[in-house]
Structure 1
Amino acid sequence: MRALITGASSGIGREIARQLAARGYELTLCARREDRLRELAAELPVVCHIIAADVADETECRLLYEAARGDDLEVVVNNAGFGLFGKFTETDLDTELRMIDVNIRAVHLLTKLAVQDFVKRDRGYILNVASSAGFLPGPLMAAYYAGKNYVLRLTEAVREELRQQKSAVKICALCPGPVDTEFNQVAGVRFSLSGLNAERVAREALDGLFAGKGAVVPGAAMKAMTFARHFVPDSVLARITYHFQHKKAGK
């Protein structure tokens, strides 16, 4: 059995790789930084296939899946992604379009290809890394929040289609709040809330995925937030989110 993990060079992706290796999975590790992938592969007790690719590029994304696919591919983890902080009128358009390519298009493409293959043999697991941001409007990180909402809703919809088909294929969205990873530096933010440990988030994500959960929200605070949002209008949620976002420090 084998797993494909994008964004495996750091953070949640790296921890998921470690935990899947501990479960005995052979791994296909993908990220742009080949040196980081080789360092990770050297520490893992399983066979690792390294593919240095930029999933923002559709051609590279398709080639990645072609290289990874096979009857032994059982798990696909769409973890690659990044954020961008700032007013929508001021953030760089090219960076936002690249973020859409990584956070949305690549997830959509790899989910589509994997689901089609997995359904044919009626087995397989897909974990899409969304965010607690996917439950909210996100002023000052508008494109990032919107993209994570896409990932969450896509995952929920595909899950229901699979349920209706009585398919054994499982798909799950991971929706963490702040996590102690490189995300903060890349996005140019400093969270006011303490970040969760990436190892813990990865463990909860895999436990939920293999248990057949549709979404995993690690941490009591984020669970409470996702529950409470049902009782607050979106317009008010946007104001509350802006208040917290405004406390973040851009680059």
Structure 2
Amino acid sequence: MRALVTGASSGIGREIAKVLAERGYDLILTARRADRLRELADELPVKVEVIPADLTDRAQVKALWEQVKDQDIDILVNNAGRGLFGPFDETDLNTELEMLEVNIVALHTLTKLFLPKMKARGRGHILNVASSAAFLPGPLLSSYYASKAYVLRLSEAVAEELRRAKSKVTISVLCPGPVPTEFDQVADVRFSIPGMDSTSVARLAVAGTLRGQLLILPGVRMKAVHFFQRFVPDPVLARLCWRVQRRKSGLD
């Protein structure tokens, strides 16, 4: 059994790799920081291949595929992601476009390339890491929230296609709430509500993926938020999100 995990150098991706290793999966780990990946590889009790790659670069995404396409990948984990905090008209465009390359284009590309092979074999799982942000408008993190909505809707649509094709391949989308990791440092935010630890999120994510669960919402808090937000109009949700977001990075 073999799994590929993107963004495996830290946070949820690192913990997912550990959980998969515990379950006996050999691993292909990719991220920009090769030293972090090698440190992780040395800790794991399974065969690990390290492939450093910057997923903001489409050529490197394709190169990653070329390196692994002849291997039977049982689980693809599209975990790599970035965030960017600030008013939409003030955030740096190039940084924002790089974020969209990772959050949307790289995830879309790898899902598109791996899925036909999995269908042809009649087995496989894809786990796309989104966020509870996917359900909400996100003033001050507008592009990040929008990118995670894309991940959610793409995953839901492909899951329905697989169901109608009676395929045994499954696609899951992980939508955690705040998880304290290096992500919030890179995105320049501080969470204003308590977070769930990345190890617990990873265990729930892997278990849900292997069950073929489409929507994985870790924690009672996030399940409750997801249930009640459906009854609140989007303009009201946007105002509520603004009030939460403005407490980040000292704006309050």
**Cross-structure match for 1:203:** 203
Find the aligned partners of 2:238 and 2:44 in 1 and give their Cα distance: 43
**Is the contact between residue 83 and residue 141 of structure 1 (CA under 8 Å) also seen in structure 2?**
yes
Which runs of structure 2 are paired with 1:54-69 in the superposition (5 Å)?
54-69=54-69
Which runs of structure 2 are paired with 1:182-221 in the superposition (5 Å)?
182-221=182-221
Give the TM-score taking structure 2 as reference length: 0.98
**Cross-structure match for 1:141:** 141
Segments of 4+ moved more than 3 angstroms = none
Shift of 1:65: 1.6
Shift of 1:195: 1.5
**Is the contact between residue 190 and residue 248 of structure 1 (CA under 8 Å) also seen in structure 2?**
yes
Find the aligned partners of 1:249 and 1:81 in 2 and give their Cα distance: 20
**Is the contact between residue 189 and residue 250 of structure 1 (CA under 8 Å) also seen in structure 2?**
no
Find the aligned partners of 1:59 and 1:82 in 2 and give their Cα distance: 19
Find the aligned partners of 1:248 and 1:54 in 2 and give their Cα distance: 28
Shift of 1:219: 1.3
1:14 aligns with 2:18: no
**Cross-structure match for 1:4:** 4
**Cross-structure match for 2:236:** 236
Unaligned stretches of 5+ in structure 1?
none
**Cross-structure match for 2:82:** 82
**Is the contact between residue 134 and residue 175 of structure 1 (CA under 8 Å) also seen in structure 2?**
yes
What RMSD, in angstroms, separates the aligned Cα atoms of the two structures? 1.0
**Cross-structure match for 1:114:** 114
Find the aligned partners of 1:166 and 1:250 in 2 and give their Cα distance: 50
**Is the contact between residue 85 and residue 250 of structure 1 (CA under 8 Å) also seen in structure 2?**
no
Shift of 1:70: 3.2
Count of paired positions: 251
Find the aligned partners of 1:139 and 1:180 in 2 and give their Cα distance: 20
Find the aligned partners of 1:106 and 1:138 in 2 and give their Cα distance: 22
Give the TM-score taking structure 1 as reference length: 0.98
**Cross-structure match for 1:34:** 34
Shift of 1:73: 1.1
Find the aligned partners of 1:239 and 1:217 in 2 and give their Cα distance: 23
1:171 aligns with 2:171: yes
Find the aligned partners of 1:8 and 1:250 in 2 and give their Cα distance: 30
Give identity over the alignment, percent: 59
Shift of 1:180: 1.6
Shift of 1:250: 5.9
**Is the contact between residue 188 and residue 250 of structure 1 (CA under 8 Å) also seen in structure 2?**
no
Find the aligned partners of 2:187 and 2:73 in 1 and give their Cα distance: 32
1:52 aligns with 2:52: yes
Find the aligned partners of 1:203 and 1:169 in 2 and give their Cα distance: 20
What letter is aligned with 2:43? E
Which runs of structure 2 are paired with 1:125-136 in the superposition (5 Å)?
125-136=125-136
Find the aligned partners of 1:40 and 1:54 in 2 and give their Cα distance: 18
Cα deviations by residue, 1:132-155 (Å, 9 ceiling, x for unpaired) = 000000000000000000000000
**Is the contact between residue 133 and residue 148 of structure 1 (CA under 8 Å) also seen in structure 2?**
yes
What letter is aligned with 1:63? A
Unaligned stretches of 5+ in structure 2?
none
Q: What SS class does the counterpart of residue 128 from structure 2 fall into?
A: strand
Cα deviations by residue, 1:137-186 (Å, 9 ceiling, x for unpaired) = 00000000000000000000000000000000010000001102101100
